[in-house]
Chains A and B, each alone.
Chain A
Amino acid sequence: MTLWWAIAAVCLGCYALKLAGLAAPRQVLDHPAVRRFAELVPVALLSALIAVQTFTADGALAFDLARTAGLVAAVVALVLRAPFLVVLIAAAATTGVVRLFLG
């Protein structure tokens, strides 16, 4: 039940955030600091998510060879300019195969 509350909060909050931008007074965006913050925040948060989801487990730093190999495969696919879906499939397939053979 508690998880449902978190989901409800995220659904309502995300919608409110989207609407706030469309409905806000225009001059807010003209502030250079706001523009800059908008550009930078997702980069920091998404990088943090990549690091945490790849290199931690149960609240501690953890090296998982299969997951790391999958992320490396994603990097290779991105360097080769592969389409979005190909990047995801390459990552999942690599992690799956490495885990199958190395446990």
Chain B
Amino acid sequence: MERTTYRSAAIRDGLGVGLAVGLSGVAFGAAAITAGLSVPQACVLSLLAFTGASQFALTGAVGAGGDLVAAASGALLLGGRNTLYGLRLADLLGVRGPRRLVVAHGVIDETTAVALAQPSPESSRTGFVTTFATLYVTWNITTLAGALGTSALGDPGMLGLDVVGPATFLAILWPRLAGSGELRLLAAAGAGIALLATPFLPPGVPVLLSAFAVLVVMAR
């Protein structure tokens, strides 16, 4: 009985998070087209990279006219946190063999958050799979819709779509900033470093440079 309750709670969490975040694929599709990517390029990123922050980071740097190597490096550095999620989830999900190749694609912020919030390993697995499936399907459909819609609109700046990227990052960060003065300091330092470096370095590089703020905080 209790086990069933846990599982249905995990399914509910997974569907809720998957749908809500998945719908913001519209924002990614729009941001990608605004940055100068084609509709197929936006869709390939959502299908194969499937990690929102890295996707936004790449298109943001491309849109700013940035060096592509720096743009891709920034995206990969952000993707590095999925490695750390994977380390954490490996035990919990207990996947072995070829199935691991599929599960790996779903290791992102939202699936990790839902999986870790469940009270038992079994419901964690349910939560992970539900979030992954819902988010993957929604995110890819809405990316296509956002990309096609923006292509048809012409000037996305008129609709205020250029603020959607930063607003997405802020919404992801918010709960963590609200809970910790140290993280607020780190956020301010990261933002400060990137802004100060912007006039002197190619686009994309200032964002990478902000990682030095982490070393300063860790060394304290």
Q: Which of A14, A48, A70, A85 contacts B50 (CB 8 A)?
A: A14
Q: Which of B41, B87, B158 contacts A7 (CB 8 A)?
A: B41
Chain B residues whose C-beta falls within 8 Å of the C-beta of A60 in the assembled complex = 198-199
Asked if A44 lies at the interface with its beta carbon under 8 angstroms from chain B, I say: yes
Asked if B160 lies at the interface with its beta carbon under 8 angstroms from chain A, I say: yes
Bound complex: CA of A37 vs CA of B57, how far in Å?
Answer: 19
Asked if B163 lies at the interface with its beta carbon under 8 angstroms from chain A, I say: yes
Asked if B15 lies at the interface with its beta carbon under 8 angstroms from chain A, I say: no
Contact with B along A77-103 (1 / 0, CB 8 A): 010000111011001111111111000
CB proximity to B under 8 Å, residues A9-58: 9-11, 13-15, 17-24, 26, 28-29, 33-38, 40-58
> Do most interface residues of chain B lie in helix, strand or loop, or is the interface mixed?
helix
How many residue pairs, one in A and one in B, have C-beta atoms under 8 Å apart? 298
Bound complex: CA of A95 vs CA of B27, how far in Å?
Answer: 14
Which B residues form the contact surface with A (CB < 8 A)? 20-21, 23-24, 27, 37, 41, 44-45, 48-51, 53-58, 60, 62, 64-65, 68-69, 71-72, 74-91, 93, 95, 100-101, 103-108, 157-174, 176-177, 183, 186-195, 198-199, 202-203, 206-207, 209-211, 213-214, 217-218
Which A residues form the contact surface with B (CB < 8 A)? 2-7, 9-11, 13-15, 17-24, 26, 28-29, 33-38, 40-61, 66-67, 70-71, 74-75, 78, 83-85, 87-88, 91-100
